[in-house]
Structure 1
Amino acid sequence: MASGHFKQGIAAGRLPMQAYAKNFSDLQPPLDRHEALVEADRCYFCYDAPCMTACPTSIDVPMFIRQIATGNAVGAAKTIFDQNILGGMCARVCPTETLCEEACVREEAEGKPVQIGRLQRYATDVAMAENKQFYERAAPTGKTIAVVGAGPAGLACAHRLALHGHEVTVYEARPKAGGLNEYGIAAYKSTDDFARAEVDYVMAIGGIEIRNDMVLGDNFQLADLVRRHDAVFLGMGLGGINALHAKGEEAHGVENAVDFIATLRQASDLAALPVGRRVIVIGGGMTAIDAAVQSRLLGAEEVTICYRRGKQDMNASLYEQDLAAANGVNIRHWLQPRRVIAERGKVTALELEYTAMEGGKLTGTGELLTLAADQIFKAIGQSFSAAGLNGSGDSIELEKGRIRIDEEGKTSMAKVWAGGDCIHGGDDLTVTSVAQGRDAAESIHRALTSNGRV
């Protein structure tokens, strides 16, 4: 009998049982104390630290690394959490290779930066393991704020508002809090249910209530929140999935990459998850990489990422692209989908067209290519759903399909702020969402305490 490796179509159990635990183990095991001390000693502790400038949350990187170097990991964690209460997850998922580590003087001098992300993880892991709580709530202000979305932006906003003594109610559409940290990143980047542990750590400050399965536009409207609360923060991320605009994309086997990743993240038995033998992922960002690599780790024999532009145009970092290649993923550029080929309603192949830049515009060349496939993942971006935003006699202004805000995170509607992936101009990074949630909270606090109203 043929092994599970050669099952046709989309099937579960392609690998030996023991392979799943190994394949989805921690991508970068944590540093132990000795390793952290050695790595911290490599830091020059720059006075005018470019790594700090490169961090969207402006963590004092030289300070926390010096604290690690002197054996004060808990103090280092406080330095991190003062700026980024979700510093533990950001240490795991941030593209540090294009942020703080790319700016590191060691990178400039010798091509080997200080491992800032792993040092940040070391410090925050120590503090969380010891349940060190650094913050006490201020005296109650009597003000209540609604936060829509329990993702990175919403949690950071809620924590900072609670710190200032306000009462916060978080309305979350999913059964669990955490947003993309819980549902949207590769399982090997955040193991041992860390996303849930981090939510618990944030909630420990008190003054925050999370109401799950509450969908804006369905269970409640923005106008309701504006009437009931002193201020509202919108941090619900993106809910819509962009279409391929390819013929036949409704065929069985064409799936959304974000749904695939969410299902995998919540699975109790990875061996039970079906995956195709030949998988194609359409897209060039982090979601495409995560879907492709995890397909391979589940046992797909051939995984190909198809991206319509060149390697340098991919949103996924070079590190992530190399990670995909190291896991056997083939990345092909200058290809766009034209037609999903199916038999009896099931995907059998994908017809693509070669692309090129002409006069600064991406165009199809007319030359076609057909790749065999039994599963196709769409990872070409998400769209914002404005359901539930309006209807109060006022409206939220949008810009290019997302919420328009000013420099403090204020929207066009009185009493309403926003941050994270749902706003125009964001870069779709966890760490940026945290910074936007934190800064909006400070703006809300100033507004509530300057004249008692917003």
Structure 2
Amino acid sequence: MSDIAAGRLSGEELAENFSDIHPPLDAMSAHIEASRCYFCYDAPCMEACPTGIDIPNFIRKISTDNVRGSAIDILEENIMGGACARVCPTEVLCEGACVRTAQEGKPVTIGALQRFATDWLMEKGEQPFARAAATGKRVAIIGAGPAGLSAAHRLSQLGHDCEVFEALPKSGGLNEYGIADYKVVDNFAQKEVDFILGLGGITVNHGKKLGQELALGTIRNDFDAVFIGSGLGGVQALALEGESIDGVFNAVDYIANLRQTADKATLPIGRRVVIIGGGSTAIDIAVKSKRLGAEDVTIVYRRGAEAMSATDVEQKFAQTNGVKIKHWMQPVGIVSDNGAVSAVEFEYTKQGPDGKLIGSGEKTTLEADMLFKAIGQIFVPDPVFGTAAQLELKNGKIAVDDSYATSLEGVYAGGDCIDGNVGLTVAAVQDGKKAALAINDYLAKK
């Protein structure tokens, strides 16, 4: 019998559980932390930043009380520097490359300093950027996520008018719908969207989805250029019998619903929750399940800890929140009781001589009244491209060249929907920025 219910915890407990997990630095703490930086000339942290932020320079400005200048240095390279400061895996990017890490095992907390500077500027309500003279060119942006908004902002700075088409009711993409809310508290995602749109020259249309309300062929005719930053529209299936019974959930959709639910006491959660997957989504839904009141939460991954795409920091975070992680197990069956999940059957796995994963034949069962699928998202071509059948795909995603141009003239793409993207907010922002510069060159030649 299913034991899924809402209201397992009080409002006060939920408020505490979903409060900011990394409280911001105050001015004194930021100044002290900035003083730890060596301001390296050939800074490895800067090389590790996908958006190329001049990290030593922005930290130096904090140390000299030029916080405004610091924030502008960040935002000129990464207009979503505030979100990235909160959600980036800094432990494997800038902080992982920090010289202090090698010497002391404790890097300069670059992410916290970046948040301090960008929050300071946004709280001032100042718009530090200005548009260039109008070019008369119009660019359509498909998707109001990190890639789309980054492209729109840079194109608007360059004087082009941008019209953004977004399928969902709100802008922000995964920052609004997919990131754990204890990382982006106080409606930060929408505050950042407002800051970006504050530049001007950008119009956003919600409830507009390619293949339904929009056709790529029509948009190509109506605009001088197009940027596709539509993200990933589908979720990997387990391909198991019983996957559609009660109690089996898609983690991505559940997280999106949780992010948009004001009263978390209304969200149903099981007592015994099993998550299948090894990435950030699996970590997020596991921790959220515990913080919603689940008693027993287990992540199951088919390989070892080192193969999980979730970082060591994320894995430890889950474990310190009471989540168990089991490795070398793959799901082979879903057990039901009166039409609802009651357990999940797993087979132990091992690595074969050729490196491929193989089943050992030995099986075990984990009781569960709630099962979350968190095994990755996929790009869905569907009728998105309509008459534009010549748009090429590669490895199941949109194929682009070094300038982010697709196989269609005047159509560019970036973010999670393109081949080669690593699935990080910071990478999507960089894609949008670089594609915008390429589009600007294209429009100039056109």
TM exceeds 0.5? yes
Indicate yes or no: 2:100 matched with 1:110. no
Local SS of the residue matching 1:280: strand
Local SS of the residue matching 1:365: strand
Rounded Cα–Cα distance in structure 2 between residues aligned with 1:285 and 1:390: 30
1:401 to 391, 396, 400: 396
Local SS of the residue matching 1:92: helix
Q: Give runs of aligned pairs for residues 209-248 of structure 1, distance below 5 A.
A: 209-248=203-242
Is 1:216–1:387's contact at 8 Å kept on the other side of the alignment? no
Local SS of the residue matching 1:202: helix
Rounded Cα–Cα distance in structure 1 between residues aligned with 2:388 and 2:437: 27
Aligned-residue Cα RMSD (Å) equals 1.0
Q: Give runs of aligned pairs for residues 419-438 of structure 1, distance below 5 A.
A: 419-438=414-433
TM-score for the superposition, normalised by structure 2? 0.99
Show structure 2 runs of 5+ residues with no match: none
Q: Give runs of aligned pairs for residues 350-429 of structure 1, distance below 5 A.
A: 350-359=344-353, 360-392=355-387, 395-429=390-424
Indicate yes or no: 2:100 matched with 1:78. no
Is 2:51–2:426's contact at 8 Å kept on the other side of the alignment? yes
Is 2:216–2:388's contact at 8 Å kept on the other side of the alignment? no
Once the two structures are TM-superposed, the CA of residue 131 in structure 1 deviates from its matched residue by 1.5
Local SS of the residue matching 1:98: coil
Rounded Cα–Cα distance in structure 2 between residues aligned with 1:293 and 1:393: 42
Higher mean C-alpha displacement, 7-16 vs 281-290:
7-16
Once the two structures are TM-superposed, the CA of residue 8 in structure 1 deviates from its matched residue by 6.1
Once the two structures are TM-superposed, the CA of residue 191 in structure 1 deviates from its matched residue by 0.2
Indicate yes or no: 2:437 matched with 1:442. yes
Rounded Cα–Cα distance in structure 2 between residues aligned with 1:116 and 1:54: 12
Q: Give runs of aligned pairs for residues 16-415 of structure 1, distance below 5 A.
A: 16-359=10-353, 360-392=355-387, 395-415=390-410
Is 2:176–2:190's contact at 8 Å kept on the other side of the alignment? yes
CA deviations on 1:374-423 (whole Å, 9 max, x unpaired) are: 00000000110113443335521101100111111011111100000000
* Change over 3 Å in CA distance of 1:49–1:415 after alignment to 2: same
Identity of aligned residues (%): 55
Is 1:408–1:439's contact at 8 Å kept on the other side of the alignment? yes
Is 1:389–1:396's contact at 8 Å kept on the other side of the alignment? no
Is 1:157–1:438's contact at 8 Å kept on the other side of the alignment? yes
Rounded Cα–Cα distance in structure 2 between residues aligned with 1:60 and 1:275: 44
Is 1:220–1:388's contact at 8 Å kept on the other side of the alignment? no
Is 2:286–2:299's contact at 8 Å kept on the other side of the alignment? yes
Rounded Cα–Cα distance in structure 1 between residues aligned with 2:330 and 2:302: 5
CA deviations on 1:94-146 (whole Å, 9 max, x unpaired) are: 00000000000000111000000000000000000001211111111110000
Partner residue of 1:3?
Answer: none
Local SS of the residue matching 1:96: coil
Once the two structures are TM-superposed, the CA of residue 247 in structure 1 deviates from its matched residue by 2.0
Segments ≥4 residues shifted beyond 2 Å: 387-394
Partner residue of 1:4?
Answer: none
Local SS of the residue matching 2:382: coil
Is 1:389–1:395's contact at 8 Å kept on the other side of the alignment? no
Rounded Cα–Cα distance in structure 2 between residues aligned with 1:344 and 1:187: 34
TM-score for the superposition, normalised by structure 1? 0.97
Is 1:222–1:388's contact at 8 Å kept on the other side of the alignment? no
Local SS of the residue matching 1:423: coil
Rounded Cα–Cα distance in structure 1 between residues aligned with 2:431 and 2:271: 41
CA deviations on 1:10-47 (whole Å, 9 max, x unpaired) are: 10111122100000000100000000000000000000
Rounded Cα–Cα distance in structure 2 between residues aligned with 1:393 and 1:179: 25
Rounded Cα–Cα distance in structure 1 between residues aligned with 2:125 and 2:383: 38
